[in-house]
Amino acid sequence: EEDTTFYFMKKRRAKQYLKEKYFDTEKFNNGDGVEFEPFEKKMYDVYNGVNKDSSKAIDILFDKSDQKKKLLRQKAQIVFQDPMSSLNPRMTVGQMLTEPLLFHKLAKDLDEAVEMVKELLVQVGLKPYHVDRYPHQFSGGQRQRIAVARAISVDPDLIVLDEPTSALDVSVQAQIVNLFEKLQEQLNAGYVFISHNLSLVRFISQEVSVMYLGRIVEQGNSESIFKNPLHPYTKALLAAAPIPDPKKKRNRKDLVGGQVPSPINRPAGCFFNPRCKYRMDICTKEYPPMFKADENHYVSCHLYSTSQEQGGESK
């Protein structure tokens, strides 16, 4: 795999979001010749055309042929953070949901598309008569259900969920997460779930990647990450998460201080070294590779380089 750097312009300065990739493309191969890689938060900007760089990695998302681009748009869908801003206020629910069905020729005509939309609305917990309403006539949770219906309407293989519950009340969050669980079983689609809510990540995810300043610092199955965190940053995240037990004390020894460095001018060596209490000389000089700590558990930290010298692996 090749190292890849993505830059996004912001106020005349290039902001670097993703420096390197450690992705298993086989998990998201849809069998139609297009590979979908789980991508970092800002990668959906590339997918949507905000950044059309000509690098090889972006060619996966922006193939020059219209046929491949159309296939990608059907097979990979996104549910955005704010349902109000992601839905067109001038279009009814029916207009928004019939459009992709007709564009991708999943419906023969408008009448069939409308019937399919009504079935989609029922599938996400809404009513068929909602087809004639506008986004402002719905609650936040209902609007997010509409966004989900739009995403699943084209039968995608991959759905990117970008903080899909952060703009919702706690009670509504639970309903939306349960909807995701139900739809995943029905559709057999892969999710890339992007969230700061560790409880939701643990509940919905099978594989977890922890990122710091655009790089994956730890990666593995959900149970392994939450029960045996290895990277100092992962430990700090879990230590900062609230515990729903008033009698249980929080482990504050793993909390970190300091400020997050600028993503434009990141530290030399390991990006986390200015805030890490385990910092060594090598941490300020070399960025650590991914070391294999256990089966399906990788960590990017020099603390684990000793075990690798004794027979471990790195990637």
Structure tokens at 296: 């399906």
- Output Rg (C-alpha) for the chain, integer angstroms: 21
Q: Is 105 helix (H, G, I), strand (E, B) or coil?
A: coil
- CA-CA distance, 256 to 258, in Å (whole number)? 7
CA–CA distance from 185 to each of 160, 206, 290 (Å)? 16, 14, 32
Q: Which residues pair with 8 in a beta bridge?
A: 15
Residue ranges of the chain assigned to CATH 3.40.50.300: 74-204
DSSP at 107: S
Instruction: Return the percent helix, strand and coil in the chain, to nearest 5.
Output: 40, 15, 45
pLDDT at residue 313 in the model: 54
pLDDT at residue 197 in the model: 87
- CA-CA distance, 164 to 193, in Å (whole number)? 8
pLDDT at residue 185 in the model: 83
CA dihedral 59, 60, 63, 69 (to 10 degrees): -140
Nearest Cα residue to 175 out of 246, 243, 124: 124
Query: Tens place of pLDDT for every residue, the chain, 315 residues?
Result: 444 454 444 444 444 445 544 444 444 333 232 233 333 334 444 444 444 443 444 444 545 566 667 777 788 899 998 888 899 999 999 999 999 999 999 999 999 999 999 999 999 999 999 999 999 999 999 999 999 999 999 998 889 999 998 888 888 888 999 999 898 888 888 888 999 888 889 988 889 999 998 889 999 999 999 999 999 999 999 888 877 777 776 666 667 777 888 888 889 999 999 999 999 999 999 999 999 998 889 999 999 986 544 444 555
Q: How many CA within 13 A on the CB side of residue 278?
A: 15
pLDDT at residue 226 in the model: 93
- CA-CA distance, 18 to 4, in Å (whole number)? 8
DSSP string over 155-174: --SEEEEESTTTTS-HHHHH
Nearest Cα residue to 173 out of 201, 212, 207: 201
Residue 219 near residue 298, CB atoms below 8 Å:
yes
Residue 42 near residue 8, CB atoms below 8 Å:
yes
- CA-CA distance, 192 to 209, in Å (whole number)? 10
pLDDT at residue 50 in the model: 45
Does the domain formed by 74-204 have CATH 3.40.50.300?
yes
pLDDT at residue 116 in the model: 96
pLDDT at residue 299 in the model: 95
Q: Is 190 helix (H, G, I), strand (E, B) or coil?
A: strand
- CA-CA distance, 237 to 96, in Å (whole number)? 39
Structure tokens at 263: 């993503």
